Amino acid sequence: MLALTNITWFDLCLACVGAYLLKHAFNKKNPAPYPPGPPGWPLIGNVLDMPRIKPWLTFAMWGKKYGDISHIEVLGQHIVVVNSVKTAMDMLDKKSTVYSDRPIITLGGELVGWKHIMTLLPYGDHLRRYRKNFHRVIGSRAAVDVYSQIEVVETRRFLKRVFATPDQLQEHIRHTAGAIILRISHGYEVKESNDPFVDLADRAMDQWSRSTAPGAFMVDFMPFLAKVPEWFPGADFKRLAREWHETLDEMVSAPYKFVKDQMAAGIAPKSFTSDLLEGRTLSVEDDHVVKWSAGSLYAGASDTTVSTIYSLFLAMSLFPDVQKKAQAEIDAVVGPDRLPSFTDRDSLPYTEALTKEALRWHAVIPTGFAHCVTEDDIHDGYYIPKGSLVIPNIWFMLNNPETYANPSQFNPERFLANNGKKPETEPRTICFGFGRRICPGLHLAEASVWISTAMSLAVFDISKVVENGVEITPEVDPSSGTISHPKSFKCSIKPRSAKAVALIEQDVSH
């Protein structure tokens, strides 16, 4: 984070005074009031109100105080926070032509280079081409089924690793998520340990989360600071951006080069990238679109799935009754002599509901990516000016007690119809975003979480650890950042039976 020195404080004051004078010199009467929100200060507006740590909690407090839509202004930038699913859908889905752009994020987007990834692309031709590529490969459950064998093989390898070293759970989840997505995106089979591409993705995605978090860097509110040299006092963000740019470039370019080299040698397996390159002479622009489409697929799936599956193991250690119900269902449908497969999915409704609850209980992207408004709008009587950033508070939407009963409880039954009671709101309509910016990889993400859940519960009992005779209860404390992870925790993971051990140790075919 940029630490402001006396000199940069002076620059900040000058910028604020200038913005304040210009605003009042050219101010025109708004056609409607802004949405309500915390009162700002003269000159600096709400710069002190913008939360940097777990912003979703502050946004939720604003929602309780000001209603479904709240507004702040930070150095002339209008920011609108939406705490209601209905309002988010009314704005971001039904008015998608107005709310489908992305803001310019100076540090993460411009300086680091994440502006080329699909999530941050402005709405336009490049985005449509990326999404077309995605839809063809993973745009439906049927399309994802093509890759089901990859998911099964890599998840079975995951079971073996967890059985061998259960204390390295998080590393095993990361390795498996990287293995699955790299096979699909670039036809690359990861090494058993210390794989360079998996390590690259881990570093890059941590940097992504830090560099794009709302309010994390002052340069995002004052883009002119991007012009200061790296040696300038307080400009540590420039060094970070340079280092993070190198990581990102390698993460996207290295696997892309791998595919091209394999194709030149005539040994490239089928993959997202090879399909897009096969039989084509690419222009410079086409090459850019293919490389960054593949990079977007690789990046998008390599961290969000990790967070969800890790949170699932946390939930199983905290809610043993839920685990037992899922295991009873799997035992009854699948039996003890084989592992669950995707063909069992429709016959395991409680396990399906459990994966939905995993998506809801830990909001992986707690404050959804900001939508940028392309033209003035009046919504519910409030003025939303062109250029405003609209942030959906996905965490609150998934934890709103008016939508989900006892939201802090991990309760899959909320998604099952019981005794005439309708299921609660489907979390996939919220957690994957809204409108034209909805995550195109949602079917792949759901499949990855489902097969990992079903196979893990079929063979493992997950519980709290006992140290020196004392049971240790893990803390539920999600991290800040664009992508949120559960706080690191210990849990006990043991095979359920001798037959479970035999299933884990079976040879894994390709």
* Domain harbouring 132, CATH code: 1.10.630.10
Tokens representing 275 are 């399909």
Pairing status of strand 371-372 against strand 389-392: antiparallel
Q: Could you tell me the CA-to-CA distances from 404 to 294, 400, 424 in Å, in that order?
A: 36, 6, 7
Q: Could you tell me the CA-to-CA distances from 212 to 134, 253, 370 in Å, in that order?
A: 23, 21, 10
Where on the phi/psi map is residue 279: left (φ > 0), alpha (ψ -120 to 50), or beta?
left
* Helix (H), strand (E), coil (C) string for 307-367: HHHHHHHHHHHHCHHHHHHHHHHHHHHCCCCCCCCHHHHHHCHHHHHHHHHHHHHCCCCCC
pLDDT confidence band for 137 (50 / 70 / 90): confident
Distance of CA 144 to the CA centre of its chain: 19
- Asked if residue 60 lies in contact with residue 83, where contact means CB atoms within 8 angstroms, the answer is yes
Classify residue 287: in a domain, yes or no. Answer: yes
pLDDT tens, 407-445?
Answer: 999 999 999 988 788 999 999 999 999 999 998 888 888
- Residue 2 burial by CB count (10 A; 0-12/13-18/19+): exposed, middle or buried? buried
Classify residue 169: in a domain, yes or no. Answer: yes
Name the least confident of 14-23, 29-38, 272-281, 351-360.
14-23
Q: How far is Cα 297 from Cα 466, in angstroms, rounded to an integer?
A: 40
Number of domains composing the chain: 1
For residues 167 and 219, the model is more confident at 167
Q: Given a cut of 90, is residue 6 above it in pLDDT?
A: no
Classify residue 360: in a domain, yes or no. Answer: yes
Q: Cβ contacts of residue 86 below 8 Å, gap of 6+?
A: 68
- Residue 492 bridge partners (DSSP): 463
Per-residue confidence (pLDDT) for residue 4, from 0 to 100: 36
Q: For residue 461, what are the domain limits? A: 6-505
Classify residue 1: in a domain, yes or no. Answer: no
Classify residue 224: in a domain, yes or no. Answer: yes
Per-residue confidence (pLDDT) for residue 5, from 0 to 100: 35
Name the least confident of 223-232, 241-250, 287-296.
223-232
Classify residue 130: in a domain, yes or no. Answer: yes
The 3-state DSSP class for residue 109 equals: helix
Q: Which amino acid is at 324?
A: K
Residue 327, number of CB atoms within 10 A of its CB: 19
Q: Could you tell me the CA-to-CA distances from 179 to 34, 182, 343 in Å, in that order?
A: 47, 5, 22
Q: Given a cut of 70, is residue 14 above it in pLDDT?
A: no
Name the least confident of 34-43, 179-188, 189-198, 485-494.
189-198
Classify residue 48: in a domain, yes or no. Answer: yes
Number of H helices, E strands in the chain: 17, 10
- Asked if residue 214 lies in contact with residue 59, where contact means CB atoms within 8 angstroms, the answer is no
For residues 27 and 369, the model is more confident at 369
Q: Mean pLDDT for the chain?
A: 89
Nearest to 211 by CA among 237, 229, 249, 246: 237
Pairing status of strand 382-384 against strand 377-379: antiparallel
pLDDT confidence band for 17 (50 / 70 / 90): low
Cα angle 363-368-372, degrees, rounded to a multiple of 5: 175
Sheet of 77-82: strand order equals 69-74, 77-82, 389-392, 371-372
Q: E-strand spans in 41-131?
A: 69-74, 77-82
pLDDT confidence band for 12 (50 / 70 / 90): low
- Asked if residue 369 lies in contact with residue 123, where contact means CB atoms within 8 angstroms, the answer is no
pLDDT tens, 101-129?
Answer: 998 889 999 999 999 999 899 998 989 99
Classify residue 88: in a domain, yes or no. Answer: yes
pLDDT confidence band for 1 (50 / 70 / 90): very low
Q: Given a cut of 90, is residue 392 above it in pLDDT?
A: yes
Per-residue confidence (pLDDT) for residue 2, from 0 to 100: 36
Q: How far is Cα 35 from Cα 72, in angstroms, rounded to an integer?
A: 9
Residue that the structure tokens 């411009």 belong to:
110
Per-residue confidence (pLDDT) for residue 206, from 0 to 100: 86
Q: Cβ contacts of residue 278 below 8 Å, gap of 6+?
A: 263
Nearest to 373 by CA among 98, 119, 93, 106: 98
For residues 411 and 235, the model is more confident at 411
Per-residue confidence (pLDDT) for residue 88, from 0 to 100: 96
